[in-house]
Structure 1
Amino acid sequence: MSTFQDTARQVIKAEAEALVTLAESLDEQFDAAVTKILETKGRVIVTGIGKSGHIARKITATLASTGTPAQFVHPAEASHGDLGMITRADTVLAISNSGEAPELANLLAYARRFDIPLIGMTSRIGSALASQSDIVLPLPTVGEACGTGVVPTCSTTMTLALGDALAVALMKHRSFTAEHFREFHPGGKLGAQLSRVRDLMHSTDELPLAKSGTAMSDALLIMSEKGFGVVGVTDADGRLVGIITDGDLRRHMDGLLERNVDEVMTHHPRTIDPESLAEKAVAMMSLPSPQITCLFVVDTAGNLPVGLIHIHDCLRAGLG
């Protein structure tokens, strides 16, 4: 077996064991930290230097994208003017495994001077960071996965996980939903996956619709004008009762222009409501027998057509 693989497994197991130890060590200080952040009128100012700084940036991004306003402040830059970014309405989350990072000194002193709540995340309870913090989130003292104790591995993994735990606890308390997440993350694959049908559909004035009894000659003009390759058929009350596709046209080529829409349409077409995820629309269009390229979007209360979503709309959004 590969020596490299042996090393990799040892590292991963060591970090997994560290996470179990962290989970078992959580106490009322974690509750206090969540409560303090919920009470914060401003932002969570996250800070750290070195590896802790890299982790702090990720925690900042996770907090911000899950409903907790947050900003990373580099502790060295803070000493050269960036302390002005921190207000009395904020709460500071300072991260240092040793708790003795000298770069944090001015920022911590600033927080104490202006009575800004300070949460410290450190593995040393007797450190300068812990002694100055209002709330301490302790990291269990465990060995690093490198075996020498000098390369941050288990400690950074625990720090990252503890930050994730804070963000998710806050998110759940605020009943933060996938829709809220999309508001903060409209781009990329995640944004596309959380798109609603209403975000991508064509509106009512673009819909290719014909009333029941319309001559096929007129329906073909509507199909050509709107450019979706379909025509929806509505009854006297405006409810969608059928759809005419290219397939329907081919099946009724003989005497097509002498027919009306009711004779050609497919009854009870697949439809979708505007609040469904756009991914569901893609799945419905991909169903066999037959595969289709668009769906009418209907008000489920009255089956009234309110939009149309085409497979090309979904592809442009990054779905499919």
Structure 2
Amino acid sequence: MQNFITHAKQVLTIEKQAISQLEQYIDHNFENACQLMFNCQGRIIVIGMGKSGHIGNKIAATLASTGTPAFFVHPGEASHGDLGMVTAQDVVILISNSGETSEVINIIPVLKRIGAKMVSMTGNTKSSLAKLSDVHVCIKVEQEACPLGLAPTASTTATLVMGDAFAVALLEARGFTANDFALSHPGGSLGKRLILTLKDIMHTGTQVPIVKCDDIIKDALLEMSEKGLGMTAIVNAQNQLQGIFTDGDLRRILEQRVDIHNTKISKVMTMECTTVNSNMLAAQALNIMENKRINGLLVVNESNQPIGALNMQDLLKAGVL
């Protein structure tokens, strides 16, 4: 019977050890590599073959999303035209565990002629790639998690972790913020939380449920039903907000048997209502609604006039909730 759990734990042990040993390579070479990338006036171009290429692709994506413009180029494609993407202002990260991958080595003379700076990541400090690059960062591991010692496992993990170390070190150096991150991730939930404001998602114009103080409850109920937000604003003759009436208020007055056909809405409205401005982040509005246990908000201008409205459903549709 195969002991899958035992084998899996052995893999984790080997790879954890490989990561812990990386700390010795966070040295002046790592610092010099970061400085090259920090001062780069062009782009960071990551190149790797096979499994190193897959890891390189992820490293490029992480750099790009954390404030360091980067992209991945396959070495095979590089030799057939894609080196045209490289300029003298770029820094090229070359990845090869052995440091002797022919597809990577073969493009070095062209990179030197272009004038791009080169940072290599290998497991062999005496390799051709290490010697030919401007800066070499070691990613050597004692053993692969593969029992045959053939499939890149611990070595690719170490490479990925070192790439993350580059990205985060550069992020800190650039003063990259959560708002900066959001700008490159507008489709993600974090991006939406940090970018979307109420003006982006609120109902406006005739979509905002509004009745006058002298209107009767029945009129307010019709307005609520038509606009479908579970509430309505109540305003005075100057269109200034005086209160709010919600589904919760409706249940309350029905229990009290209030005459909805003859009673003015101003008699039963909630006067102390929570309002927000249109520049508020949608995520902040969500926090207000959750903390106050309310399902909707009215958006007002500087004159306390309702200009917008939204509810939990709007936040859900916008991907904030």
Same fold (TM over 0.5): yes
Residues 60, 72 of structure 1: 8 Å contact kept? yes
Residues 200, 313 of structure 1: 8 Å contact kept? no
Q: 1:153 to 1:279 in 2, by over 3 A?
A: same
Relative to the length of structure 2, the TM-score reads: 0.85
Q: 1:273 to 1:176 in 2, by over 3 A?
A: farther
Q: Tell me the residue number matched to 2:90.
A: 90
Aligned residue for 1:267, secondary structure, equals coil
Q: Report the aligned-residue RMSD.
A: 3.1
CA distance in 1, matches of 2:236, 2:136: 67
Q: Any residues of structure 2 matched to 1:281-320 within 5 Å, and which?
A: 281-282=285-286, 285=289, 292-297=294-299, 305=306, 307-318=308-319, 320=321
Tell me which amino acid in the other structure corresponds to 2:59. I
Residues 141, 158 of structure 2: 8 Å contact kept? no
Q: 1:252 to 1:190 in 2, by over 3 A?
A: same
Q: 1:209 to 1:2 in 2, by over 3 A?
A: farther
Instruction: State the Cα distance separating 1:99 from its structure 2 match.
Output: 0.9
Question: Unaligned stretches of 5+ in structure 1?
Answer: none
Relative to the length of structure 1, the TM-score reads: 0.85
Q: Any residues of structure 2 matched to 1:155-304 within 5 Å, and which?
A: 155-192=155-192, 194=194, 196-198=196-198, 201-205=201-205, 206-210=207-211, 212=213, 214-234=215-235, 240=241, 242-253=243-254, 254-271=258-275, 278=282, 281-282=285-286, 285=289, 292-297=294-299
Tell me the percent identity: 44
Instruction: State the Cα distance separating 1:164 from its structure 2 match.
Output: 1.0
Tell me which amino acid in the other structure corresponds to 1:135. V
1:238-274 deviation per Cα after TM superposition (whole angstroms, max 9, x unaligned): 7655321123223334222333333222233345565
CA distance in 2, matches of 1:256, 1:81: 77
Q: Tell me the residue number matched to 1:109.
A: 109
CA distance in 1, matches of 2:153, 2:171: 27
Instruction: State the Cα distance separating 1:27 from its structure 2 match.
Output: 0.8
Q: 1:258 to 1:58 in 2, by over 3 A?
A: same
Residues 185, 191 of structure 1: 8 Å contact kept? yes
Aligned length: 317
1:278-301 deviation per Cα after TM superposition (whole angstroms, max 9, x unaligned): 45655655679xx654223457x8
Instruction: State the Cα distance separating 1:177 from its structure 2 match.
Output: 2.5
Q: Tell me the residue number matched to 1:51.
A: 51
Q: 1:11 to 1:298 in 2, by over 3 A?
A: farther
Q: 1:107 to 1:276 in 2, by over 3 A?
A: farther
CA distance in 2, matches of 1:276, 1:160: 38
Q: 1:87 to 1:194 in 2, by over 3 A?
A: same
Tell me which amino acid in the other structure corresponds to 1:138. C
